Structure 1
Amino acid sequence: MEISDLIVFKAVVEHKGVTRAAEALHRVPSNITARIKKLEAELNIDLFIREHNRLVVTSAGLRLLEYTQQILQLQKNAIAELTQSEPSGLLRLGSMESSAASYLPSLLSKYHVRYPDVQVELMTAASEPLIDKVLKGELDLVMTSDPPNDARLLCSPFCEEELVLIMPQVWQDEQSLPSPLTMVSYNKGCSYRQRLETWLKRHDVRCERVIEIPSHYTMLACVVAGMGIGMVPKSLLSLHQTDGLANRQVDKDIAQATIYLVARKDNPASAISAFVELATTV
């Protein structure tokens, strides 16, 4: 499909016919008709029902119209992005939930002040799903730990985190953790959960159950309530009331976690590079 064919198709739908679409696009009606037939032949579907010299868009045509609007908007954004000196357009940002709470509020505030023409969309998820969305082109930039060694990715170090083991305060003075034990953790694919599992295996600690909780607020509350143990960045604890919560240091190689800003190398958008520059220089 050519962009020009989609523009013609959109005009025919919006102007409810070939003649008015031709007038709007400053073309002859025969050219409009030929473009529509060409598009239908390429897709091997009927985009319009033709009856009594009228064109009625089909359900397939309506679906194509939705994609057409998205494609033309992306084209417009691309032109603006590549020709304007200041970052603009849409930045699809992803982050681990804990990093979003600790670092993103101040970063996003500064970014918005400096680059008001950039629209930011944010989603939170575990590390592996975030990286997967970057590789698929569904996210532009993510804040995550332990990114894979993938030649397609550009990984910029952002900060260092210290992970700690969290548990109910009443367990603090115990020589060993109680049994049976429950692990309260983020969802599968979270790098911090993987580090906790490594610590448990290394120290021969067995968990009978795993409770997956995507929110650190809920996780901390569950640990305080005595449901089990977890592992979180120490910086996160300073954001919350920690009455009833204790933490212990863990092995240095498990505790030290670098947070990276990760994007595709072949996605050199100015909004991405501006965010990375701001984040790594403040």
Structure 2
Amino acid sequence: MDISDLVVFKAVVEYKGVTRAAQALHRVPSNVTARIKKLESELSVDLFLRENNRLSVTSAGLRLMDYTDKILQLQKSAIAELTHAEPAGLLRLGSMESSAASRLPSLLARYHRTYPAVQIELMTAASMLLINRVIDGELDIAMASDPPDDPRISTTHCFDEELVLILPAAWAELEELPEALTMVGYSKGCSYRHRLETWLKRQGRVCEKVIEIPSHYTMIGCVIAGMGIGMVPRSLLSLHKTDGLAFRAIDYDIAHAPTYLISRKDNPSSAINAFIESTLG
């Protein structure tokens, strides 16, 4: 089974037919058809159903597509590793919003100075969304908290955050939080939001409303304005004016939030390894 045959197979699946795949690959349709038949002969399975001059992928074809993506990614990584003395190419990086604001600027600046041939694309999102995108191959590496125990991913501890409960300054002297309580937080899948929900549960409390705000600037502003409570890393507060905020102690196991660099074990690259080493250095 040749790599070039897998490239043709992938194109036929993605372009949903031989003609368009042939155009994309700059081949004649008969050559594409021959490659597909060769693959089917080697594997002794039908990869496509052929009805009324239309192709649809079989279950065997879908399974092969999963392997094809992995094989082509490994081929790409091998070429990058063996043909570049220094890390180069595209690095798709994911980060939590708070880490992107408080931690990443200095890390990215150092990485860019050291490895200028690497092009960085940054995406910010909740931890679980980032981790799922790493697993799905849409991100190369992510900076996230509370990763799951998944055999497909590699986790490297990079730093610890101290989470603090923030509330309006007007509530500072209250012995108990108001009965009607609103949580101002990040979207579902955010590890910090989950930790706040865990803390509230321990207090026997449930927020009547949850206002999802992706921007930490807006979220902290809403807490100052009296909308509700939130939970953020202490390192983030150095970027904000905290007049109008009050803080409340929370349990250590909730406040202590390690952050990890997360990548797929089967997607090695010099750019990923260099980013990990640069971050830890």
Q: What band does the TM-score fall into relative to the shorter chain? A: 0.7 to 0.9
Structure 1 position 84, deviation (Å):
1.4
Distance 2:25 2:144 in 1: 47
Question: How far apart, CA to CA, are the structure 2 residues paired with 1:205 and 1:225?
Answer: 22
Residue aligning to 1:239: 239
Q: Given residue 125 of structure 1, which amino acid in structure 2 is its aligned partner?
A: A
| Partner in structure 1 of residue 171 of structure 2 | 171
1:248 matched residue in structure 2: 248
Q: CA deviation at 1:75?
A: 6.4
Q: Alpha-carbon deviation of 1:237?
A: 0.4
Cα distance in 2 for partners of 1:266, 1:36 equals 29
Relative to structure 1, is the Cα distance of residues 11 and 142 closer, same or farther in structure 2, using a 3 angstrom cutoff? closer
The secondary structure found in structure 1 opposite 2:208 is strand
TM-score in terms of structure 1 length: 0.77
Contact persistence 2:145–2:257 (CA under 8 A): yes
What's the counterpart of residue 149 of structure 1?
149
Deviation, 1:188, is 0.6
| 2:222–2:228 Cα contact (<8 Å) kept | yes
Larger radius of gyration: 1
- Report matched runs for 1:83-98 at 5 Å: 83-98=83-98
User: Per the alignment, do residues 4 and 157 of structure 1 end up closer, same or farther by CA in structure 2, a change over 3 Å counting?
Assistant: closer
Is the partner of 2:160 in helix, strand or coil?
A: strand
- Which digits, 9 at most, give the CA deviation of each residue in 1:25-68, with x for residues without a partner? xxxxxxx674244257688699xxxxxxxxxxxxxxxxxxxxxx
Q: 1:112-127 maps to which residues of 2 (within 5 A)?
A: 112-127=112-127
Partner residue in 2 for 1:185: 185
Unaligned runs of 5+ residues in structure 1 are 22-31, 47-70
Gaps of 5+ in 2: 9-18, 41-46, 51-70
Q: Give the letter aligned to residue 276 of structure 1.
A: I
The answer to whether the Cα contact below 8 Å between 1:94 and 1:123 also exists between their aligned partners in 2 is: yes
Match of 2:194 in 1: 194
Partner of 2:218: 218
Deviates more, 1:112-121 or 1:81-90: 81-90
The residue number in structure 2 matching 1:268 is 268
Offset at residue 72 of structure 1 (A) = 9.5
Kindly provide the amino acid, as one letter, of the partner of residue 147 in structure 1: P
* 1:38 paired residue number: 34
Equivalent residues of 2:77, 2:267 under 8 A apart? no
Of stretches 143-152 and 192-201 in structure 1, the one that deviates more from structure 2 is 143-152
Query: Against the structure 1 CA distance between its residues 38 and 252, is the aligned structure 2 distance closer, same or farther, given a 3 Å change threshold?
Result: same
Q: Decide whether the 8 Å contact of 1:81 with 1:88 is kept in 2.
A: no
Q: Report the Cα distance in structure 1 between the residues aligned to 2:86 and 2:154, rounded to whole angstroms.
A: 22
Structure 1 CA distance, aligned partners of 2:104 and 2:137? 22
- What percent identity do the matched residue pairs reach? 62
CA contact (8 A) 2:77 2:269 kept: no
